[in-house]
Structure 1
Amino acid sequence: MENVLSSTGDSKLDQAINQWLQFDKNPQTVALVQGLVKEGAVGELWRCFGSRMEFGTAGLRAAMGPGISCMNDLTIIQTTQGFCKYLEQCFGQSLKERGVVVGFDARAHPPSGGSSRRFASLAAAVFSCRGVPVHLFCDITPTPFVPFAVSHLGLCAGVMVTASHNPKQDNGYKVYWENGAQIVPPHDKGISVAIEANLEPWPESWDITSLSHSPLLKDPFQDIHTEYYRTIQQHCHHRDINKSSEVKIVHTSVHGVGHAFVQSAFKAFDLRPPYAVEEQKDPDPEFPTVKYPNPEEGKGVLVSHINPEEGRGSWSVISTLRRGGGSWSWRVFSGNELGALLGWWVYQCWKQTNPDQSTVKSVYMLASTVSSKILRAIALKEGFHFEETLTGFKWMGNRARELLDQNKIHTLHTYYTHTSTVHYTHADFEEAIGYMCGSAVLDKDGVSAAAINITLSQQLTAVYEEYGYHITKNSYFICHDQAVIRAMFDRLRHYDNQEDVSYPRQCGGVAITAVRDLTTGYDSSQADNKAVRR
């Protein structure tokens, strides 16, 4: 093999490849690496081995394939070994008494032999070989089942193998702490250090066959399935309104795992089941009808697969289909618009069940910094609390847990949208589409949200008329060139002055009242221009 490796001409790259071939026991990824070496594909080898995936507060997310920069059997084992070691440091003997939970979606990558199911089994093997009880779901499951299981079973941590709405070649490793929320600093750094210190696979880490007879392995599927739906029922307001509605609802999981679970959620609430988009109903790792299985793409994800003549609308982007003048027209609600509707709805429900309005200070609503400030406007007028967090469910989930632990929240119903997050007498929202309903799951939870949403254009207008119009128009560009990215942001940060910090003062002819740049820690709305981080 040395003769072939010498063709790379780079000792650092050769060293990384040699270590990989020494550690990897997956014949498919070994063959892929050997093939690239034989072909002299130095550029592709650098892509696979140039740098290790960074473990952050969102865990890991990358393309499946060979090498330390990709999701594969070996990097899953290395990551789980580091995570396990870190948990041992934090929890000691308690880890072996309480255990962890591991779930997975339906993603797969045949060329490298990787799949969410296999990655979850390997993670379970790593934990169990260290004497840690593992609650490994026997089948595909929606993401919220994992954080729910952490809280319901009193576990130390949870792992969900999923790439959410990323392209089909990607996968991810999402980590939850004992509070049922995603990890936040300093846990990410601690886990990252532990991974680097435990790169060589432990002998038993590859042995997934031992799981079948391990006394440490449990399947939580039936228990969590039952308890999850029982729990979310407790946080639903005024279900009778939905029962009598003539509105027909369409749901699509966009080839993900949500179909069966959303159907169960509607059944739990005694609602008529939603129609399913047949072309996108079943889990399919190839995602054949979409380029990106991302609800933020709006109509591009759904429209061609919905038959308007059946009077169907779609909750998944909370789209409604309505007839006007004999023709059909679409209204796709953005995450911010949904956040406004859900926040308004939660507060109205709270008012109806709490005639003593003096307890309004027990109501909390949260939004991430990139979201509309509509909840702040509602809070200012109605007298409840509004808080803004950093971007991401992990921050809102952890802040929600802090409020719960401090008994600062009077009632617990949580709506959380990734472009909108709403917590009951606590509501939170972020503008990128995703929902958390109920305090039982401190992460985005589209399953429970599907059965609760009421999406009315008229009501949104009424909310804006009462609390003020909040308009957002955002989009995104994909750029992988770090030099171009740095140049773009450097220009924004020195817009009028190349020497000093100088952000734009106008955008499209509209005055910019404040700028927050969390990368540099700048916030012009603060007296010292320093951003407040939570």
Structure 2
Amino acid sequence: MGNVEQVQKSLEAIKSAVSAGKLSQTAAENVTAWLTEERYSEYQGAVIEHIEGEMWQPLDDAFWTIIPFGTGGRRGRMYPIGSNAINDRTIGESAQGLADYVVDYCGGKKDLSCAIAYDTRHKSRHFTELCAGIMVAAGFKVYLLDDYRATPQLSFAVRAKQCDCGIMVTASHNPPSDNAVKVYWSSGAQVLPPHDKGIIDRVMTCQEIRVTPFDQAVAEGKVEVVTDEIDATFTDAAVACGFAGSRNAKILYSPLHGVGTAAVVPLLQRDGFTDIHVYEPHATPSGDFPNVPGHVSNPENQAVFDKPIEYGQKIGADLILATDPDCDRIGCAAPITLDASGPWGTFNGNEIGAILTQYVLSKRAEANTLTTDNYIVKTLVTTELTRRIAESFDVRCVGDLLVGFKHIAEVIDREGPDQFVFGTEESHGYLIGQYCRDKDGAVACMLMSELAAELKQKGVSMHDYLCDLHRQHGYHREMLINLFMEGSEGMAAMKRLMKAFRETPPQQLAGIPLKQIRDYGNSKCTDLSSGTSQRLEGPVGDLIIMDLEEDGNYVAVRPSGTEPKIKLYVFTRASAEESSRDLDEAKAKLEERLVALESDVRQYAKTNA
């Protein structure tokens, strides 16, 4: 059968599959494009094979939509074909769209450059070579971190080499099936308006992907390897953000099979730590994340610490640290008391952020380097405990931000980097200093290690340190609920649920009446008792916050920008008076409230999705 006949037969099969309910209409449209348009010609054979094999479900999953740019760039499951998958075409479109936009934006600039780095995931190096070849073909010089390196090192490299843009090939903490590209602007931050829309427009209209073979680009000097240079200068810049004090702490570190060892260990050593142990079962770089529970290297997951804690108890560790595969986020665990052989506990992202905010501000206060012009930065879904800590030091907190560290980076440049003290978000991302514009797991590991050594010297556990903050500012307890909704049906369910929260929100949660709805998508704040609305000042994005009648208790809802799920952030608080009087009682009260809140929001979601 000739190729034209194969295509025609495949087109007829697509129509039949749609009629039979085996393929969604949007998938059919995208499959048809990949089957008939010249720009997808190299994938035509694979598409035909899928159709002839009646692989309708894989086709629907791979084609039902066009994979978008979210808070972390373009991310998804790898599959050889598909508009909704990570493959050579979608990665190529991303790099080509970036290159085309930057070329036009820079208006004929001759010495364009781009920094590129990659993590330990499957095909990360392959996608790196593809992206490098595309940037070179567009006239860019590429500065390559040619080994497994951290996302903050890429952000730093963009700034250090004065690049026009940057590309990080990583899917962060996603499952082994996934990969992605994060796109960076010349500031070292992930792209923001208006550049994000401009790049997306170029990506979505990309016809031809022009590639210089990687080996040729290297031979011609258009790809320059700068790994050693950036390793040294990054460590110099990050260690300068540390504080003087004891370094007598035994640190157990896990890279969770990712890139972190190359960034974290040299930094801790430069900062003066000598008793550093890398957890061997997690040390091997691997995109399969073989020794991590569920093969998902997410430091938010308490289970990743189970085995390291057992080992830490044996060796008498003072602190256990873990970074995600691209080392921009951290998790940690510490002994409940000063006895390392006894019980341990982990800290969530809000708790780590509060602990580090207190540590950094207290050290700055001791050095008399804080003024009322200084500020910290957080997002709307990050605990208000950090704001209260900042206010106790007479430091501003800029916190009216959407999710995504790029918004924190934007504030740093808008408000002035010289006055910036610390940035934190609930998803375990933190930054200090001016050397980069993305969250940095390595520098956060350094700061946590410094604090662990200081507390050890004082005879105070990390958990007691946090409890003291709760007694002073009120006990804050948060919970993250993920509602996974995959595929085309999942997207429709996500839209229905967000619409329901906006238009017919629950009247009460955990027995507490709702007071108001803050709808950042429509810039509207609605008082539920009167039904009146007024303009909501702040950022515009798909985020809803439901405030309960009791102060400090609220639920934020948004669709994830990187995964097929709705994220619900539940916030509770007991007053400082209650918490200082009996912290255990305040904890028990809020734990009970969280159980009720989770039950109520899950039931609401089940009914309305």
Report the TM-score, using the length of structure 1 for normalisation.
0.85
Measure how far apart 1:516 and its partner are.
2.9
1:415 aligns with none
Segment drifting more, 461-470 vs 275-284? 461-470
Q: Select 1:304's aligned residue among 296, 307, 319.
A: 307
1:18 aligns with 35
Paired residues for 1:263-274 under 5 Å = 263-274=265-276
2:386 aligns with 375
For residues 470 and 276 of structure 1, do their structure 2 counterparts lie closer, same or farther at Cα, with a shift above 3 Å needed? Answer: same
Alpha carbons 2:11, 2:32 under 8 Å: kept: no
Alpha carbons 2:374, 2:396 under 8 Å: kept: yes
1:431 aligns with 426
Alpha carbons 1:56, 1:189 under 8 Å: kept: no
Letter in 2 for 1:184: L
For residues 489 and 22 of structure 1, do their structure 2 counterparts lie closer, same or farther at Cα, with a shift above 3 Å needed? Answer: closer
Letter in 1 for 2:87: N
- Match of 2:143, SS state, is strand
Measure how far apart 1:57 and its partner are.
4.8
For residues 470 and 440 of structure 1, do their structure 2 counterparts lie closer, same or farther at Cα, with a shift above 3 Å needed? Answer: same
- Match of 2:484, SS state, is coil
For residues 505 and 470 of structure 1, do their structure 2 counterparts lie closer, same or farther at Cα, with a shift above 3 Å needed? Answer: farther
- Match of 1:45, SS state, is helix
2:172, 2:493 → 1: CA distance? 27
2:258 aligns with 256
For residues 142 and 251 of structure 1, do their structure 2 counterparts lie closer, same or farther at Cα, with a shift above 3 Å needed? Answer: same
Alpha carbons 2:423, 2:430 under 8 Å: kept: no
For residues 324 and 387 of structure 1, do their structure 2 counterparts lie closer, same or farther at Cα, with a shift above 3 Å needed? Answer: closer
2:222 aligns with 216
Segment drifting more, 283-292 vs 332-341? 283-292
Give aligned pairs, total. Answer: 490
Letter in 1 for 2:116: V
Paired residues for 1:76-225 under 5 Å = 76-94=91-109, 96-108=110-122, 115-202=123-210, 205=211, 207-225=213-231
Alpha carbons 2:35, 2:41 under 8 Å: kept: no
For residues 365 and 191 of structure 1, do their structure 2 counterparts lie closer, same or farther at Cα, with a shift above 3 Å needed? Answer: same
2:258, 2:51 → 1: CA distance? 35
2:248 aligns with 244
1:436-460 Cα shifts (integer Å, max 9, x gaps): 2322121111012112203511111
Alpha carbons 1:367, 1:396 under 8 Å: kept: yes
Measure how far apart 1:351 and its partner are.
1.0
The structure with more strand, counted as a fraction of residues: 2
1:36 aligns with 50
Report the TM-score, using the length of structure 2 for normalisation.
0.75
1:98, 1:9 → 2: CA distance? 44
Paired residues for 1:274-313 under 5 Å = 274-289=276-291, 290-291=293-294, 292-298=296-302, 300-305=303-308, 306-307=310-311, 308-312=313-317, 313=319
Measure how far apart 1:475 and its partner are.
2.7
For residues 315 and 515 of structure 1, do their structure 2 counterparts lie closer, same or farther at Cα, with a shift above 3 Å needed? Answer: farther
Q: Select 2:408's aligned residue among 396, 401, 418.
A: 396
Alpha carbons 1:516, 1:522 under 8 Å: kept: yes
2:85 aligns with 70
Letter in 2 for 1:372: T
For residues 19 and 208 of structure 1, do their structure 2 counterparts lie closer, same or farther at Cα, with a shift above 3 Å needed? Answer: farther
For residues 381 and 232 of structure 1, do their structure 2 counterparts lie closer, same or farther at Cα, with a shift above 3 Å needed? Answer: same
Measure how far apart 1:379 and its partner are.
3.1
Segment drifting more, 465-474 vs 518-527? 518-527
1:482, 1:235 → 2: CA distance? 43
1:144, 1:137 → 2: CA distance? 12
Paired residues for 1:303-382 under 5 Å = 303-305=306-308, 306-307=310-311, 308-312=313-317, 313-316=319-322, 317-322=331-336, 328-354=342-368, 360-382=371-393
Letter in 1 for 2:389: I
- Sequence identity of aligned pairs in percent? 25
Alpha carbons 2:169, 2:182 under 8 Å: kept: yes
- Cα RMSD of the aligned pairs, angstroms, is 2.5
Segment drifting more, 133-142 vs 430-439? 430-439
Segment drifting more, 159-168 vs 446-455? 446-455
Alpha carbons 1:57, 1:183 under 8 Å: kept: no
1:384 aligns with 395
Measure how far apart 1:505 and its partner are.
5.1
What residue ranges of structure 1 are gaps of 5+ in the alignment? 109-114, 411-424, 496-502
1:79-108 Cα shifts (integer Å, max 9, x gaps): 2111111001111233x4141101111111
2:481 maps to 1:475: yes
Q: Select 1:8's aligned residue among 3, 13, 26.
A: 13
Alpha carbons 1:372, 1:470 under 8 Å: kept: yes
For residues 386 and 521 of structure 1, do their structure 2 counterparts lie closer, same or farther at Cα, with a shift above 3 Å needed? Answer: same
Measure how far apart 1:479 and its partner are.
1.7
Alpha carbons 1:252, 1:281 under 8 Å: kept: yes
Letter in 1 for 2:306: V
1:339-381 Cα shifts (integer Å, max 9, x gaps): 11111111111111117xxx62121011100010112212333
- Match of 2:167, SS state, is strand
For residues 14 and 69 of structure 1, do their structure 2 counterparts lie closer, same or farther at Cα, with a shift above 3 Å needed? Answer: closer
For residues 15 and 448 of structure 1, do their structure 2 counterparts lie closer, same or farther at Cα, with a shift above 3 Å needed? Answer: same
Alpha carbons 2:171, 2:180 under 8 Å: kept: yes
